[in-house]
Structure 1
Amino acid sequence: MDVKLKDTVPPHNIEAEKATLGAMLLDWDSVNSVLLLLRPDDFYVQQNQVVFEGIASLSFQGIKGDSVTLVGELSKTGKLDAAGGVAYISSLTSVVPTSANVEYYAKLVSEASIRRGLIKIAAEVKADAFDESRDSRAILDEAEKKIFSLSEMDQSSPVRTMLDIVPQALENIQYHYANHEVFTGIPSGFAKLDSMTSGFQDSELIIIGARPSMGKTALALNMMEHIALVRKIPCGFFSLEMSSEQIGQRILSQVGHVPGTKLRDGTMKLDELQKLQIAAARCYDAPLYIIDTPNMQLVELRAMARRLRQKNGIKIIFIDYIGLITTENSQAPVYEQVSEISKSLKSLARELEIPIVALCQVARDAEGNEPTLSQLRGSGSIEQDADVVMFIHRERKKQEDGTAQSVQDAKLIVAKQRNGPIGDVPLLFLSSFTRFENASDERIRQAQQKNDSPEAAAHSAGQEGFAEKRLNFPKITFPVS
């Protein structure tokens, strides 16, 4: 073929189009499988599009068609001439000797259609790039969204029977039994929560809601600490509110049990520097990947999540928080945007087959009270789309000098769980380290009763079984004035 002609004629496969239509007319039972793979505009030739629409119309009416009934249907709708007439329709069945390869023919048609779609998108992106009134980032986001939508259209959902499902389910059960694993999902590090959920499960959307300054980010970081540092499971963290440096400082404060205020003002003592050294050594090679893009577009978040999954093998994603994700349709009402975001995150969790934990604000009327599902801010679709919804609740108490209490009772309210029980998980909040601990830790309880330093007890609890390993960590030097 002439190179110039090849560059100007869009990709197409007329023979495959005719073979697909002919096979459908030969074997009406193959129609439904083709309808899952193709749409009318996947056909390059206009008359083939009309023929396909006629076949689809008969199928939707429950009519078992052939060439004769198709001609009748097209005549009734006035589209027979546009479909090439009686002679063309009759010729389609003679193009293909058997319908056995109908899905193969359909995939050839789909392949050519995808290539045409890519060419169209490339032309639109080129035109937008030359338009200097358009923002370059908006053009990139729009182009990525178009390409991903093209990719998603090519994905067909497989139908599985119990013959396929039961053996796989038994294999998973036998694996967990043989390995004595308590949890089937990814443990959060909070004992009672993990016993209720059996860990965060693949393909689930988990929502953590609370009023501002209740500790949503702190709880997420606590969970990530256990998952990435203790379990060595790769984590992704999308921080739309805090910078990566701030996140890093919060993690070091939590892991080292060094008050965050001392990290900021540089008033650490020698023993606190040593704690920080140990914390830094633990965190240094942790499989934790942080993205701190503010006002991240939904399509950009989805693209980055796919890359992290493919390149870094992440097993769970945290997002801080839903309210800061922006959609392309920024002029739409807030509830529509939030609905689009929640549905997209749920579909992303299923696509990547990992749990996604997203933080969310709750309505102002929850202040001072235990939050409820109806108070999730933005849209009722969050409650609908989420597999697990939990709320952080603690009293905003002050000490006599006006500062926040160093240790506060808190609880995690599991208000919805699609596949498990609901209930309360008691926790302790250590305000100095912005850290949550299991309330069942007796050493912290005893420290409170003795009026000793609860932070010291928490530090001791966090370092259990860890002291013997300290000599193995690399020495990290900090300048001391």
Structure 2
Amino acid sequence: MSDNKREINIVTLNAETGSKFPADIAMLTDVIPSGANWAYYADRVKKLAQLRAFGELSERMHEVNIENIGEKLNEFSSTATMIAQSIGGNVKSARDFLLPMLESIEEAVRRKTEYSGYDTGLSSLNDVVDGLQKEYIIIGARASIGKTALGINIARALVRKGVKVGIFSLEMSGKALMLRMLSDICNLQAGMMKNGMFRTGGMEKINTQGLEMADWPLYLVDDTRGEFDKIIAKTRYMVRVLGVQVIIIDHASLMKFRDRRLQRYEQFSEMSNELQNLQRELNIPIVVMAQLGRDAEGKRPTIADLRESGAFEQDADQIWILHRERAQSADETSIPTELIVAKNRNGACGKVDLYFQPQFIRFVDKARER
């Protein structure tokens, strides 16, 4: 392909091989470290070029004397302008932003829904955030409060309407995640399903719903190593090759950054910034689950309780925080839970009243619970 001057990428390689080795070809991106972060390295090269230009300019300043000061001043001014232009290369006109915005309005008109984003499956949440927006969204919660359950909730609602979803499950196996989804749509407790302890007719329901799930446009990566570069690379693959429209990452604390020499806070800052840039590049919702720190125990949590909150608070377009009282009886089937929309860069903040149903590991609207 190279000899024939043909472009080499995942799509063309699959076409050349008759789609016989899609998994092997997809994994080729994992062994090329620069491929996952081309934007980062391109920016690095650009900055080094600017630094070299400044260095050369500095050296030439020693050539200035009383005879050539006018000539050199003009020369230095020209060089400085060229450097400034290279820095401002990503400056865009109003037209560049206006046309995509008009396209999004036309898409909303065609969709004819009550909100501009995707349906989260929770009408009370849709009312506050106007549906799941094409933004960088953080969902924070203490351990065992239900951030994974909420992510699964949203994913299930999306795929049942034909929206393609990609999930990075860094803590839970894909099999366990699918069991949770099956429990939800079958209204059967996950533990009983796992042990085969259900009433007559349960197996028929499981088979019927399982066949439906098999056709869902859902893609899972349950690699517990959580290598950040691979998450970025596979996200681009899922979006550009598979047509995925929403990405969910569970969860941030398990992501491992390429440069382990940095302090953990610095690693989070770099990863959060790259995720923000990736969201802008791909123009899809990227939803990341995040753990609240131990200081959040026993109080109503805020953004400040997010681990490494500075990075998330600055970069995220939206931050949702789940909260409920820790104390609960073992036989409770519907537990009041607040979803606090603590940050919404382009919309309203507020509080959403939900109920958590632990037997099905799902959230429902307060109105539906009644």
With the shorter chain as reference, the TM-score category is: 0.7 to 0.9
Change (3 A) 1:283 1:343: same
Tell me if the contact between 2:303 and 2:309 (Cα under 8 Å) persists in the aligned partners: no
Superposed CA offset, 1:162-186 (max 9, x none): x454455345434423542322222
Superposed CA offset, 1:67-115 (max 9, x none): 94379659xxxxxxxxxxxxxxxxxxxxxxxxxxx9xxxxxxx9xxxxx
Shift of 1:279: 2.0
Tell me if the contact between 2:333 and 2:357 (Cα under 8 Å) persists in the aligned partners: yes
1:219 and 2:146 are equivalent in the alignment: no
Tell me if the contact between 1:258 and 1:275 (Cα under 8 Å) persists in the aligned partners: no
Change (3 A) 1:160 1:413: same
Change (3 A) 1:168 1:310: closer
Shift of 1:282: 2.1
Residue 184 of structure 1 is matched in structure 2 by: 116
Residue identity opposite 1:288 in structure 2: L
Residue 217 of structure 2 is matched in structure 1 by: 287
Q: Distance in 2 between matches of 1:50 and 1:194?
A: 51
Residue identity opposite 1:428 in structure 2: Y
Shift of 1:299: 1.0
Q: How does 1:254-333 map to 2 (within 5 A)?
A: 254-333=184-263
SS of equivalent residue, structure 2 residue 175: helix
Unaligned residue ranges in structure 1 (runs of 5+): 1-35, 44-48, 59-66, 75-101, 103-109, 111-152, 446-481
Shift of 1:53: 4.7
The equivalent position to 1:359 in structure 2, one of 266, 289, 295, is: 289
The equivalent position to 1:235 in structure 2, one of 165, 179, 185, is: 165
Q: Distance in 2 between matches of 1:224 and 1:41?
A: 42
SS of equivalent residue, structure 2 residue 131: coil
1:159 and 2:162 are equivalent in the alignment: no
Q: Distance in 2 between matches of 1:283 and 1:439?
A: 26
Tell me if the contact between 1:390 and 1:415 (Cα under 8 Å) persists in the aligned partners: yes
Q: Distance in 2 between matches of 1:271 and 1:385?
A: 49
Unaligned residue ranges in structure 2 (runs of 5+): 1-42, 62-69
TM-score by length of 2: 0.76
Tell me if the contact between 1:222 and 1:436 (Cα under 8 Å) persists in the aligned partners: yes
Residue 393 of structure 1 is matched in structure 2 by: 323
Q: Distance in 2 between matches of 1:51 and 1:431?
A: 61
Change (3 A) 1:41 1:437: closer
Shift of 1:384: 1.1
Residue 430 of structure 1 is matched in structure 2 by: 357
Shift of 1:251: 1.1
Residue identity opposite 1:364 in structure 2: R
Q: How does 1:18-417 map to 2 (within 5 A)?
A: 39=46, 53-54=56-57, 68-69=71-72, 73=76, 157=90, 159-161=92-94, 163=95, 165-166=97-98, 168-177=100-109, 179-202=111-134, 204-229=135-160, 231-399=161-329, 403-417=330-344
Shift of 1:340: 1.4
Shift of 1:295: 2.4
Change (3 A) 1:259 1:379: same
Q: Distance in 1 between matches of 2:75 and 2:364?
A: 72
Residue 46 of structure 1 is matched in structure 2 by: none
Shift of 1:262: 0.5
Tell me if the contact between 2:163 and 2:217 (Cα under 8 Å) persists in the aligned partners: yes
Superposed CA offset, 1:411-458 (max 9, x none): 2111111111111111111110111111111xx32xxxxxxxxxxxxx
SS of equivalent residue, structure 1 residue 389: strand
Identity, % of aligned positions: 33
Change (3 A) 1:279 1:335: same
Residue identity opposite 1:277 in structure 2: N
Change (3 A) 1:269 1:322: same
- Number of residue-to-residue matches in the alignment: 314
Change (3 A) 1:168 1:363: closer
Q: Distance in 2 between matches of 1:310 and 1:178?
A: 23
Shift of 1:406: 1.6
Residue identity opposite 1:324 in structure 2: L
SS of equivalent residue, structure 1 residue 440: helix
Residue identity opposite 1:69 in structure 2: K
Tell me if the contact between 1:54 and 1:70 (Cα under 8 Å) persists in the aligned partners: no
SS of equivalent residue, structure 1 residue 312: coil
Q: Distance in 2 between matches of 1:333 and 1:361?
A: 18
Change (3 A) 1:176 1:293: same
SS of equivalent residue, structure 2 residue 289: strand
Shift of 1:338: 1.3
Residue 28 of structure 2 is matched in structure 1 by: none
TM-score by length of 1: 0.59
Shift of 1:264: 2.0
Residue identity opposite 1:195 in structure 2: D
**Structure of larger gyration radius:** 1
Residue 29 of structure 1 is matched in structure 2 by: none
Shift of 1:327: 0.7
Change (3 A) 1:253 1:169: same
Change (3 A) 1:366 1:156: same
What root-mean-square deviation, in Å, do the aligned CA atoms of Structure 1 and Structure 2 show? 3.3
